[in-house]
Amino acid sequence: MEAMSMTSSFTSSFFSISLNPTAASKPTYCKLQSHHPFFKPVKCIQSHSPDSNSVKPNPRNYASRFGCSAVTFSSSQTAELVSSKLQCLVDEFRGLSEPVDRVKRLLHYANLLPALDDSARVNSNRVMGCTAQVWLEVRIDGEGKMRFAADSDSEISRGFCSCLVWMLDGCLPEEVLKVKTDDLVALNVGLPGSGRSRVNTWHNVLISMQKRTKKLIAKKEGKPPVDPFPSLVVSADGVHPKGSYAEAQAKYLSPDELKINELVSVLKEKKIGIVAHFYMDPEVQGILTAAQKQWPHIHISDSLVMADSAVKMAKAGCQFITVLGVDFMSENVRAILDQAGFSKVGVYRMSNERIGCSLADAAATPTYMKYLEAASRSPPSLHVIYINTKLETKAYAHELVPTITCTSSNVVQTILQAFAQVPALNLWYGPDSYMGANIKELFQQMEEMTDEEIAELHPKHNKDSIRSLLPRLHYYQDGTCIVHHLFGHDVVEKIKAMYCDAFLTAHLEVPGEMFSLAMEAKRRGMGVVGSTQNILDFIKERVQEALDRNVDDHLQFVLGTESGMITSIVAAVRNLLEPTKLSSQGAKITVEIVFPVSSDSISRTSSSSPSNPQPIIGDIVLPVVPGVASGEGCSIHGGCASCPYMKMNSLDSLLKVCHHLADKEEELSEYKAERFTLQTPNGKSVADVGCEPILHMRNFQATKKLSEKLVGQILDL
C-alpha cells in the first residue's frame, strides 16, 4: 500500500508499491477495495517508482504525484474511509516482519511527501516533542475540509508525516478529531535504534493536527479566543512573564541583594542551616536560591530529602536547622536528627501558629484509623503510608498494621516489591485518595501490557501476578491535597484545547482525569507523572536534549503541581541556557512554563474587610499570596496551584527566627519543633515508633527489598 495524498475530495485508490524495482511501477490494489461499500475502482494514470526518475512530482500538489481520479464522499463515508486507510497502514506495517523493510517503506513514503516552502518551515509551525524538526501547516478549504501539509529534516519523520497527511488531508474537522493516539499504537513500527521521540512522531503530529483544527474551527465560527493560562518564558536572556500571576512569580526571581546579604550574614554567624520545600513562597525561594551560592547549608527539595539534608548540615557543624514547610516536615526533621544523634541541634518552624496540611490532616482522624483497623483484621497486611503525614499518624498506624512510608516517586516499586515478597499480601495505601486511585489505574493498565513489558517495570511480575494483586490493593478514599485537587475537569479541558501538544507534567496526587491525560502524554514521550523531583528532572532532560540538537526551539511545559516549583525550575533551566548566551553559534532555546488556573478562581488579597474576608481553616486565618489580578485568583477557594499553608513560611518569619537565635530563644518558643513526648497506645515512644516506617523505607531504597524485619511483622513471625 502506498501512502498518497488527496485532491479537494478523496482519491479512491488504495494501492501498494513494492520496494522491488520491477514491481514498483505497477500499482497493487489494497484488499480493502474489494469490499469497501462505497469504493469505485478508478484507473490510476501513473504511479511513481522510488527507483525511477521517469516521473517528476509536482512539489506544490501532493495529489498530482499520483494523478488519480477523485470521487466525493459523504460525511459517514469519509469517516469509514479514514478508518479503512488507517487499517490499511496497520496491515501493511504488520506485514513487514523485518525492521529494515519497515524503514525502507517509511523512506519510500518520505519520498512521496512534497517539501514545504522555506516560508512554512518556521518555528510557529514546529511540532513539539520530536527529536527531528517537523513542520505542519493546517488550513480549512472552501468546502470546510481540513488541508494538511508537513515536512521534516528527518527522512523517517517525513515518512510518518506522509502517512498521516495521506490519511487525514481532505477530511471534515470532526473526522480529524475522532482519531485517537491509541489508534496509532500499531503504527509504532519499532524502528531499530529509534529514540524516545522518533517513534512517537505519529502521535505528536496527530495531536498538533487536532489542536490546530480546533483553533481554526473556533475562529471560523467566530468564537472568542480562549485566554491562555499564565506562563513564564525562560531564555538565555532572562525571564518574561505572561499574565498577572506569572508576573507575581517572576517578581521574586531576581531577589533583593540587601536581603540576600542580610540572610547570609546571620546564617554564617550563627551556623544556621535551612531546609525548605519546593512549594514555598516565590519571594523566599528567590532569596534562598541566590543565598545558596554564598552559604552551602541551604537545601530546597521534596519532603523526603529535607530530613536527610538536615542531618548532613548537623554533621557539618550547623547548630540550628530552620524548616520551611508544613508542621509534619519539621516534626520529621526533629525526629530524624534525634535518631542520628543530633538531639542538641535546634529545629525551628516559621510560624507561631499551626502550619497544617489537608492531606496530613486527613490521616490524623478516627476515620483513617478505622480504615487501618480493617487492615489489621485481614492478615497478611501491609500499610503503605505517604511520607507527607504526621509522625504521630505513622506511629499509631504502625501499631495497628505493619507500615512502610513511601514517596510519590517510589510508591509503585514499593507496592510491586511487597507483592513479590509476600504474594498473598493485602496492601492498604493512604491517605491520598487521588494517588491511590491513580496507582490502581496504573496497575489496571499493566494488565494490558505484555509479560516482557511488565518485567521491565519489575522482574518478579507478569500479567497473572498483576491480575492477582489488584483485588488485594486497597486505598483510602477520603484524603486529598487542596492544591492538587484543583487540577479537575475545567483545567483538563482547557489543557486539551490549548496545550495538548505541549509537554505535560503531573504530580501523582492529581485527580484521575489529569492523571490519565498526563499518562497519555507520557506514553508518547511528552509527559511525566511522579514526584516534584521527577518533574524537575524531566524538564531538565528535555531542555538538555534541545540544546544537544542545537536547533532553535520553543519548549512548552504545563506545570501539573504546586506553583512554588517554578523557582527551582527556572534556576535549573537558566543554568542550562545561560552558557549559550556567550556562543554566537548556539541555538536559541526558549522554555515556557505554563501555570494551570481554575476558571472558577476567586482572587483574594491579604487584607481583610467585611466584603473581602481572609480565608479561615479551623482556627487559622490564612494570608494568601502572591495576590493576583481578577481571573487568576490564588486561594483555597480555587485558582492557581498555590498552597496557602506553605505560603505561611514568609521571609520576615525566616529573618526573625534567624536573628533571635540563640540569645533570644525564649521569644521563639512557639516556633520550636518540640520532641514528641507522647506514647502510643502500647506505651511506646511516638517518635521511636513513628520513625520505624521511615527506616523501613530507607532499607527498601538501599536494597530494593522489604527488610526481613518488616516481612516478619507482616507474617507475624
Q: Could you give the percent of the chain with pLDDT greater than 70? A: 80
The stretch 550-556 carries a mean pLDDT of 92
DSSP annotation string for 546-591: HHHHTS-EEEEEEEES-GGGHHHHHHHHHHHHHHHHT-SSS--EEE
Q: What is the predicted pLDDT for the residue at 78?
A: 61
Q: What is the predicted pLDDT for the residue at 641?
A: 61
Q: Tell me how far apart the alpha carbons of residues 56 and 564 are, in angstroms, rounded to a whole number.
A: 57
Q: Taking 90 as the threshold, does the pLDDT of residue 299 lie above it?
A: yes
pLDDT tens-digit profile of 10-46?
A: 222 222 322 233 333 333 323 333 333 223 332 322 3
Q: Tell me how far apart the alpha carbons of residues 159 and 111 are, in angstroms, rounded to a whole number.
A: 8
* Cβ neighbour number for residue 55 with a 10 Å cutoff: 13
Q: Tell me if residue 130 is catalytic.
A: yes
pLDDT tens-digit profile of 155-201?
A: 999 999 999 999 999 999 999 999 988 787 766 555 544 444 455 78
Q: What is the predicted pLDDT for the residue at 54?
A: 34
Q: Taking 70 as the threshold, does the pLDDT of residue 127 lie above it?
A: yes
Q: What is the predicted pLDDT for the residue at 462?
A: 96
Q: Taking 50 as the threshold, does the pLDDT of residue 117 lie above it?
A: yes
Q: Tell me how far apart the alpha carbons of residues 166 and 6 are, in angstroms, rounded to a whole number.
A: 7
Helix (H) or strand (E) holding 215: helix 201-220
Q: Select the more confidently predicted residue: 163 or 613.
A: 163
Q: Tell me how far apart the alpha carbons of residues 456 and 213 are, in angstroms, rounded to a whole number.
A: 38
Torsion of CA 191, 167, 219, 140, to 10 degrees: 130
Q: Tell me how far apart the alpha carbons of residues 175 and 58 are, in angstroms, rounded to a whole number.
A: 28
Amino acid at 225: P
Q: Tell me how far apart the alpha carbons of residues 160 and 154 are, in angstroms, rounded to a whole number.
A: 10
Q: Taking 50 as the threshold, does the pLDDT of residue 636 lie above it?
A: no
Return the minimum-mean-pLDDT range out of 99-108, 477-486, 498-507: 477-486
Is residue 454 a contact partner of residue 499, using CB atoms and an 8 Å limit?
A: no
DSSP annotation string for 336-382: HHHHTT-TTSEEE-S-SS----HHHHHHSSHHHHHHHHHHHTSSSEE
Of these residues, 44, 88, 130, 406, which one is catalytic?
A: 130
Q: What is the predicted pLDDT for the residue at 276?
A: 94
Among left, alpha and beta (phi > 0; psi -120 to 50; other), residue 679 is beta
Residue appearing with cell numbers 501532493: 62
Q: Which residues of 514-548 are buried (b: 16+ CB within 10 A; e: fewer)?
A: bbbbbbbbbbbbbbbbbbbbbbbebbeebbeebbe
DSSP annotation string for 21-54: HHHHTS-EE-GGGGT-TT-----BS----TT--S
Amino acid at 643: C
* Cβ neighbour number for residue 642 with a 10 Å cutoff: 28
For residue 306, give the nearest of 407, 232, 445, 215 by alpha carbon: 407
Q: What is the predicted pLDDT for the residue at 66?
A: 30
Q: Tell me how far apart the alpha carbons of residues 648 and 282 are, in angstroms, rounded to a whole number.
A: 12
Q: Tell me how far apart the alpha carbons of residues 139 and 147 are, in angstroms, rounded to a whole number.
A: 5
Contacts of 483 (CB under 8 A, 6+ apart): 279, 561, 562, 641, 642, 643
Q: Tell me how far apart the alpha carbons of residues 717 and 709 are, in angstroms, rounded to a whole number.
A: 9
Is residue 17 a contact partner of residue 55, using CB atoms and an 8 Å limit?
A: no
First to last CA, the chain: 65
Which DSSP category does 670 fall into?
Answer: G
At residue 151, the 3 state secondary structure works out as strand
Q: Taking 90 as the threshold, does the pLDDT of residue 435 lie above it?
A: yes
* Cβ neighbour number for residue 609 with a 10 Å cutoff: 8
For residue 569, give the nearest of 595, 545, 547, 548 by alpha carbon: 595
Q: Taking 80 as the threshold, does the pLDDT of residue 331 lie above it?
A: yes
Q: What is the predicted pLDDT for the residue at 21?
A: 32
Q: Which range in 94-103, 130-139, 599-608 is most confidently predicted, on average pLDDT?
A: 130-139
Q: What is the predicted pLDDT for the residue at 385?
A: 97
Q: What is the predicted pLDDT for the residue at 243?
A: 85
At residue 272, the 3 state secondary structure works out as strand
C-alpha torsion sign, points 693, 484, 362, 275 = positive
pLDDT tens-digit profile of 56-74?
A: 333 334 433 332 333 344 5
Q: What is the predicted pLDDT for the residue at 558?
A: 96
List the Cα angle 417/418/422 in 5-degree steps. Answer: 120
Q: What is the predicted pLDDT for the residue at 190?
A: 55
3-state secondary structure 439-490: HHHHHHHHCCCCHHHHHHHCCCCCHHHHHHHHHHEEECCCCCCCCHHHCCHH
Q: Taking 70 as the threshold, does the pLDDT of residue 213 lie above it?
A: yes
Q: Tell me how far apart the alpha carbons of residues 241 and 236 are, in angstroms, rounded to a whole number.
A: 14
Q: What are phi and psi of 7, to 5 degrees?
A: -85, -160
